């Protein structure tokens, strides 16, 4: 069975670190978008985002003597931004990427960074430049199954332990949307389903709010946190007609994450699963 060796070796490598899976999945989504959904393959945009994120992370790695493996975190943030953030010029992309990565090191409370880097980067690019935007419709609603299966599969396999945030968020939003669209407004069920199966929403639910570094540490607090994001998403979308409401909801709710952490402590998260505990490096990993 020697021919299987490269495959098993790859799997072992992937399983070492949840970020390996994230990178593979996010890059896969990007390829799917370009090849299957016929997005414009804006290579310049991807190069700017990835390059800037990795470059800024490298600066901090040198400055703070962090392990080089933390570049993976920057790659995850960059890929997430490639999938969501669009811009008319490179300035907005560079700003977004710099803010995203720098915020991990500059905006810290109790030794943790407060905002999801990709989320803050997108918000900064959109708000500060007026040159960037998010296209919530770019995934359509037909790829729902695709996302659900792969994302759920990846979550289960990796046991990142943040599936609770995705489920609490989607479940709350599904119930609220059901009350609003079907029971109150009187639309048919497929309107409800079409709203919920939006690809951007699912990507957000499975890949953005599950970042173990910026979700509350205790499970109970995480569920409260996710429900709050869902409620705010619902309110912003229906009553203020804000497109891409989840992005803004997450940004706002992230500000109370330190409070939730203070209310109930939980264990700090570590990316690597294979290596034995190394208390000396424990704190360092949190930085990444």
Partner 1 sequence: MHASAFCGFYVAKADATLFNDRSEVILVRDGQRTIITMSNDFKGDVKDFAMVVPVPTVLRREDIRVVERRLFDALDAYSAPRLVEYYDENPCVRFDLYDSVMESEMSRAPTSTGMAQEKTARKMGVTIEARYTVGEYDILLLSATESVGLKDWLIANGYRIPATAHEVLDPYIRSNMKFFVVKVDLARFQQSGYTLLRPIQVRFESNKFMLPIRLGMANSNGSQDMIVHAFTRTGRVECVNYRTVKVPSDRNIPLFVKQQFGAFYKDLFARAHRREGRNTVFLEYAWNVTPSFSGMKCDPCVGPPPMPREFAEAGADWGGAATFYTRMHVRYGRDMFPQDLVFQVTPNTENFQARYILTHPAQGDLTCSEGQDYLENLAYRRQRELGELNALTGWDVAKHKGYVNEVRGRLSPERRNNAVPFGWNIKWPGDGFPPSWPMVAWIAALILVPCLIRPAKRTVAVA
Interacting residues toward partner 1 by CB under 8 A: 37-38, 40-44, 47-48, 51-52, 54-56, 58-59, 61-66, 86-88, 90, 94, 108, 111, 130-133, 135-142, 184-188, 190-191, 193-195, 198, 240-241, 243-244, 283-284, 286-287
254: exposed, middle or buried (Cβ count in 10 Å: 0-12, 13-18, 19+): buried
Of the pair 106, 149, the CB lying nearest partner 1 is at: 106
Of the pair 144, 224, the CB lying nearest partner 1 is at: 144
Shortest CB 44 distance to partner 1, Å: 4
Of the pair 64, 159, the CB lying nearest partner 1 is at: 64
* Cβ pair 219, 119 in contact under 8 A: no
Shortest CB 63 distance to partner 1, Å: 5
Quote the CA–CA distance of 176 and 193 in Å, as a whole number. Answer: 12
Of the pair 228, 246, the CB lying nearest partner 1 is at: 246
* Cβ pair 204, 247 in contact under 8 A: yes
Shortest CB 112 distance to partner 1, Å: 10
* E strands present in 104-188: 108-109, 112-113, 132-134
Shortest CB 84 distance to partner 1, Å: 13
Shortest CB 185 distance to partner 1, Å: 4
DSSP percent split of the chain into helix, strand, coil, nearest 5: 70, 5, 25
Report the Cα–Cα distance between both ends of the chain, in Å, rounded: 38
* Cβ pair 216, 229 in contact under 8 A: no
Of the pair 16, 90, the CB lying nearest partner 1 is at: 90
Per-position b or e across 216-247, b if 16+ CB within 10 A of its CB? bbbbebbbbbbbbbbbbbbebbeeeeeebbbb
Of the pair 3, 184, the CB lying nearest partner 1 is at: 184
Shortest CB 6 distance to partner 1, Å: 28
């Amino acid at each position: 069975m020697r021919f299987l060796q490269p495959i098993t070796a790859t799997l072992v490598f992937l399983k070492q670190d949840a970020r390996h899976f994230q990178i593979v999945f996010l890059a896969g989504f990007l390829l799917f978008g370009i090849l299957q959904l016929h997005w414009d393959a804006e290579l310049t945009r991807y190069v700017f985002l990835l390059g800037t994120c990795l470059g800024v992370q490298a600066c901090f790695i040198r400055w703070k003597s962090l392990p080089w493996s933390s570049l993976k975190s920057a790659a995850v943030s960059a890929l997430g931004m490639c999938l969501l953030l669009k811009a008319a010029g490179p300035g907005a992309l560079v700003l977004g990427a710099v803010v995203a990565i720098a915020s991990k090191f500059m905006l810290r409370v109790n030794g943790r960074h407060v905002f999801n880097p990709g989320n803050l980067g997108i918000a900064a690019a959109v708000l500060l430049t007026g040159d960037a935007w998010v296209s919530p419709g770019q995934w359509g609603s037909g790829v729902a199954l695709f996302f659900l299966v792969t994302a759920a599969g990846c979550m289960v396999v990796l046991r990142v332990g943040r599936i609770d945030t995705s489920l609490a968020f989607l479940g709350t939003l599904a119930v609220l949307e059901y009350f609003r669209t079907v029971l109150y407004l009187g639309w048919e069920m497929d309107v409800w389903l079409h709203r919920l199966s939006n690809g951007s929403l699912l990507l957000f639910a499975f890949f953005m709010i599950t970042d173990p570094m910026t979700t509350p540490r205790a499970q109970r607090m995480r569920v409260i946190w996710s429900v709050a994001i869902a409620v705010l998403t619902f309110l912003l979308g229906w009553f203020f007609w804000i497109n891409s409401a989840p992005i803004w909801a997450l940004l706002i709710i992230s500000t109370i994450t330190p409070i939730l952490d203070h209310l109930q402590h939980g264990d700090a998260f570590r990316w690597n699963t294979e290596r034995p505990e190394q208390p000396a490096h424990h704190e360092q990993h949190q930085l990444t």
